[in-house]
Structure 1
Amino acid sequence: MSYTLINSILKNHAELKERTVFLIITCVSLFIRLPFFFRDYIDRDESTFILMGQSWVEGHLPYTELWDLKPPITFLVFAAIIYVFGKSFIAIRLLGVLLVTSTAFFTYKIGQEAHSKKAGLWAAIATVILLSLFGSLQGVMSEHICMAFFMPGLYLLIKFKKWETTFLAGLLMGIAVMTKMNIAYALLFLGFYIYYDHYKKQGWIKAIGYAGLYGSGILLIIALTLLPYYIQGSHGLWVSSVFEAPVAYISARRYSILKLAPVYVVLTGFFVFAWKRKLLNFKLIPVQYLLVAIVGVLFAFYKGGRINGHYLIQLHPMLLLLVVMAISELEFFKSFKWKPYYLFILLLIPMETYLEYINIVQNKYQRDTFFNGEGISVPKYIQENHLDTQNILFLGYHIGYWGLNAKPPTKAATHPSNICRDELFPFHNNPRVTSMEELRYIMETLQPKTIVTRKNKRVFDKKEVQQNEYIDAYLLKHYKVHATVENAEILQRL
């Protein structure tokens, strides 16, 4: 049955309706991501976004009560989900399905404009896979939110050449950049290309008009995120958190150029190969838009000095389109015929999904619940054993604050690793200026009654030698292990 369906889609791809494509993409996304709906946390950043969103629901603008290094729309999305559905992991992970589906669907639509429905469909399915598997991508990252707005904005720029759609594209791009700041370079490069594209056909006056409308949409969204802070009289905090802190973070934490080089070498090799073999028509406007966006993202990686796994979410949709388009022009794939055993190979790809399905079934059998992870089991243990939750510090599994209706002890402790980021302290109105001052204040002045750590693991990254030595010695002297819950240790102050 599956073979017949796939064969039918491949043969009749030109007749595919958009609702059918959307349904296919949604089903693939839901199947891959469904078992992760029941995890306590998948990436520590996602946990931090949830805490920031909860704080906003309770009436505190981002950066005022809690603090993290992301623009405010990231937290607004989480706040909206929490406001509507309450404290629901399922609702947040379902949001992830919708975000990935949106990104993949507009990948398909761009592929349709740039090449064919067939190329768009396969690029969309590949997008779902690369945005949902491998590493910590099953959670909801800021890059997922960013690309769910960026890709429809890019589609509007490629498909339509109208004043209103250009302005709407700018609004979508504004939402994207107020979700993930490093996409700003791609937006800037696209702005220059919009001017160039319209200048060739309509002259410089209309070119300026289109580029201006695009930029106005972006600036309007940025201004709207500033507005509530301006009303509160805390616009300085907004400026320092949204713009100044990311610059300081990038300056302090850069990779060696040798660690960045492989990505650029591989991509340069691909584009040279595609050009030499005439696999891509670089004269096509949609292809040029995709290239400009890719160059913008790669430039952002270079300026940022690092490429984490989840950063590639910003690159995959556009790059996959060009890769699929190039592959489609190879002679081997022009004569490609679908075989039943290819389905077996495809089904092997989401191995992480199958393992997680097994995990939730085992957890249901052992603990009578599908929900699993220390972020759930630790708060449950603390509540059942009446441990202190008002003066508590999570040095690991910090999503536990959410389950206990508790707060991190300081702004810097919202994300545990932020405690060690000296470069960020000046930007969130913190009275202490170094990580050691912050750590001593938390441990020696606030003196948490309950502390949660990861069992048999360093509290902080291995490069934070001084902080690790201090916290290890302090915990050994002033705390005892009250209980071990899965891979977490719950400590009580002596």
Structure 2
Amino acid sequence: MKLSILKECLFGESRLNNRAVFLLLTGITFFIRFPFFFRDYIDRDESTFILLGQSWVDGHLPYTQLWDLKPPLTFAFFASIIYVFGKSFIAIRLFGALLIASTAFFTYKIASRITSFQVALWSGIFCVVLLSLFGSLQGVMSEHLCMAFFVPSLYLILSNKGPFWLLLAGLSMGIAIMVKLNMAYPVLFLGIYLVLELFSKQKTVTFWGVLAFGLGTILIVILTILPYYLNNQFEVWWKSVVLAPLEYSEARRFSFFKLAPTFIVIGAFLFYCWKRDVISFKDRTSILLFVAICGVLASFFKGGRINGHYLIQIHPMLVIFLSMFLHQLYYRFKVKIPRFFLLLLFLIPTESYLEYFNIIKNKFERGTFYNGEGFSVPKYITEQKLKTDNILFLGYHIGYWNLGVLPPTLAATHPSNICRDELYPFFDNPRKNSLEELRYIMEVIKPKTVVVRKGRLIFDRDEKEENEYIDAYLAMHYRVSATVEKAEILQRKEYN
């Protein structure tokens, strides 16, 4: 697409058809995310999802061989890709990029119902940027997966084409919940709103439509239970999918003062949008977007935590109001956009440019585009023929996947889970707390090889006892065998 045509579409009166919009958003998504296809890991959660996906491919249901605090369909995404393409980082990141492009496209489609083509297109572009940049969002996170089903479902609800489409919307909402459990709140809020519509004078939806939506959502949840029920392991599903997240929310809550800024900023923005008629409570699309945002915020409040990647769950809805707000300011103050503004937009994905440089540099220095300790450490271990029996990755734990080995215990699947002893009862861990778990790993299993991040604390700084124990034990019983990039490979001393 020529620059002049793109400028006319973004700032002028030209329009593109749906196919062209999807291709444009897909192109932007791939341009931003492509260099990260070759990174070993971007966020530790993604590495954990890959490990559980591989375990599922190997014939083990989630939570049985390995364990993590996410619903099973998160791992199903990774398992399906690994089953078809094998151990391919490119395939995982490629399908992740396609899901983000799809989310952005349906964000555009929803925005098109209440604003101009140009503003809707900007909404889609903003969605790509906010789901791909600033932090560790270049990986495939559970939030990316759930929004790839939630946003199209929201569009189906708005389309209001009858019970069959609401059934599809419900199925998609059910998938979103079984990818990210807190999405039950916005789905519940939307369900309540549909029931209220059912009894309103407008009769926007029918009884059968509301019923189909509810049944579709419940059906997906039941289908995730079925494999466990058939294997007499329903209790595993119940503890891991329902009870463990509830306990985690209560045990790991942020203080009110840490939560408040997010609620204040978003609340103030939405209030201002309402006062400026950006949000109209006479318009069904605006109302449903507002309800969805409130549902996600309610889930944050109930969960008591807001991390940076959690906001992915609110960005697709919020960017629509943001784009409309900026558009209103543009016309109100009659801002004149200079010609070079379009070129300045290309400076936004600076992280991507740096990563392009990084993979090219890595190709010249090491002969491969793949980069990071998750690749270089397993390569070194294999070349040096170091023992991998019960190897322990306290950093760069995607290395388990590249070496084809398992973490020494269920709690060690994600290194941080070792310190979440409130979760131990939910996967029947015989150790009662993190110190007992660490002693068992280090003093009973006695891994021959341990990998840590050089110059970094092993665990979060709040975990003082755990850090003191592991630092002392490693200093006494292990020696540094090699330093590979930012990783230290430790070998157990022979007299042990």
TM-score normalised to structure 1 length: 0.97
TM-superposed CA distance for 1:202, in Å, is 6.2
Q: Distance in 2 between matches of 1:159 and 1:290?
A: 13
Q: Distance in 2 between matches of 1:383 and 1:179?
A: 35
Report the equivalent of 2:64: 64
Describe the shift of the 1:474–1:127 C-alpha distance in structure 2 as closer, same or farther (beyond 3 A): same
Give the partner amino acid of 1:85. F
The answer to whether 1:91 aligns with 2:78 is no
Give the partner amino acid of 1:104. A
Report the equivalent of 2:451: 452
Q: Distance in 2 between matches of 1:168 and 1:96?
A: 22
The answer to whether 1:464 aligns with 2:468 is no
SS at match of 1:78: helix
Alignment of 1:323-334 (within 5 A): 323-330=322-329, 332=331
Alignment of 1:142-153 (within 5 A): 142-153=142-153
SS at match of 1:200: coil
Q: Distance in 2 between matches of 1:122 and 1:420?
A: 43
Report the equivalent of 1:51: 51
Describe the shift of the 1:492–1:218 C-alpha distance in structure 2 as closer, same or farther (beyond 3 A): same
Q: Identify which range, 35-44 or 332-341, moves more after superposition.
A: 332-341
Alignment of 1:116-195 (within 5 A): 116-195=116-195
Q: Distance in 2 between matches of 1:7 and 1:394?
A: 49
Q: Which runs of 5+ in 2 are unaligned?
A: none
TM-superposed CA distance for 1:97, in Å, is 0.7
8 A Cα contact 2:164 2:209, kept in partner: no
Report the equivalent of 1:213: 212
Report the equivalent of 2:225: 226
Q: Distance in 2 between matches of 1:105 and 1:38?
A: 25
Q: Identify which range, 320-329 or 412-421, moves more after superposition.
A: 320-329
Alignment of 1:356-367 (within 5 A): 356-367=355-366
Alignment of 1:419-430 (within 5 A): 419-430=418-429
TM-superposed CA distance for 1:203, in Å, is 5.9
TM-superposed CA distance for 1:336, in Å, is 5.3
Q: Distance in 2 between matches of 1:191 and 1:106?
A: 20
8 A Cα contact 1:280 1:325, kept in partner: no
Describe the shift of the 1:37–1:428 C-alpha distance in structure 2 as closer, same or farther (beyond 3 A): same
SS at match of 2:479: strand
Q: Identify which range, 318-327 or 167-176, moves more after superposition.
A: 318-327
Describe the shift of the 1:4–1:409 C-alpha distance in structure 2 as closer, same or farther (beyond 3 A): same
TM-superposed CA distance for 1:282, in Å, is 2.4
Describe the shift of the 1:256–1:8 C-alpha distance in structure 2 as closer, same or farther (beyond 3 A): same
8 A Cα contact 1:54 1:79, kept in partner: yes
Q: Distance in 2 between matches of 1:242 and 1:14?
A: 48
Q: Distance in 2 between matches of 1:331 and 1:48?
A: 44
Alignment of 1:69-468 (within 5 A): 69-201=69-201, 208-330=207-329, 332=331, 335=334, 338-468=337-467
CA RMSD of superposed structures (Å): 1.6
TM-superposed CA distance for 1:65, in Å, is 0.2
Describe the shift of the 1:343–1:11 C-alpha distance in structure 2 as closer, same or farther (beyond 3 A): closer
8 A Cα contact 1:113 1:159, kept in partner: no
SS at match of 1:115: coil
8 A Cα contact 1:279 1:330, kept in partner: no
SS at match of 1:329: helix
Q: Distance in 1 between matches of 2:262 and 2:202?
A: 37
Q: Distance in 2 between matches of 1:283 and 1:93?
A: 40
TM-superposed CA distance for 1:433, in Å, is 1.6
Q: Which runs of 5+ in 1 are unaligned?
A: none
TM-superposed CA distance for 1:264, in Å, is 1.4
Q: Distance in 2 between matches of 1:336 and 1:125?
A: 21
Alignment of 1:470-489 (within 5 A): 470-489=469-488
Give the partner amino acid of 1:178. M
Kindly provide the CA deviation profile for residues 5-51 of structure 1, in whole angstroms up to 9, marking residues without a partner as x: 22321366563200000010000000000000110000000000000
Q: Identify which range, 332-341 or 314-323, moves more after superposition.
A: 332-341
Q: Distance in 2 between matches of 1:453 and 1:91?
A: 28
Give the partner amino acid of 1:440. R
Give the partner amino acid of 1:180. K
Q: Distance in 2 between matches of 1:110 and 1:60?
A: 39
TM-superposed CA distance for 1:330, in Å, is 3.1
8 A Cα contact 1:389 1:406, kept in partner: yes
SS at match of 2:288: helix
Tell me the percent identity: 58
Q: Distance in 1 between matches of 2:352 and 2:411?
A: 34
Q: Distance in 2 between matches of 1:80 and 1:440?
A: 36
8 A Cα contact 1:39 1:372, kept in partner: yes
Q: Distance in 1 between matches of 2:396 and 2:13?
A: 46
Q: Distance in 2 between matches of 1:403 and 1:332?
A: 54
8 A Cα contact 1:32 1:132, kept in partner: yes
Q: Distance in 1 between matches of 2:85 and 2:417?
A: 29
SS at match of 1:69: coil
Q: Distance in 1 between matches of 2:13 and 2:46?
A: 37
Report the equivalent of 2:32: 32
Describe the shift of the 1:167–1:201 C-alpha distance in structure 2 as closer, same or farther (beyond 3 A): farther
TM-superposed CA distance for 1:207, in Å, is 5.0
Q: Distance in 2 between matches of 1:271 and 1:279?
A: 9
Describe the shift of the 1:345–1:460 C-alpha distance in structure 2 as closer, same or farther (beyond 3 A): same
SS at match of 1:451: strand
8 A Cα contact 2:104 2:128, kept in partner: yes
Describe the shift of the 1:26–1:337 C-alpha distance in structure 2 as closer, same or farther (beyond 3 A): farther
TM-superposed CA distance for 1:271, in Å, is 2.1
8 A Cα contact 2:11 2:118, kept in partner: no
Kindly provide the CA deviation profile for residues 265-297 of structure 1, in whole angstroms up to 9, marking residues without a partner as x: 112221222222223322100000000000000
SS at match of 1:15: coil
TM-superposed CA distance for 1:235, in Å, is 0.5
SS at match of 1:492: strand
Q: Identify which range, 283-292 or 429-438, moves more after superposition.
A: 429-438
SS at match of 1:340: coil
TM-superposed CA distance for 1:306, in Å, is 1.2
Kindly provide the CA deviation profile for residues 158-197 of structure 1, in whole angstroms up to 9, marking residues without a partner as x: 1124111111100000000000001110000000011112
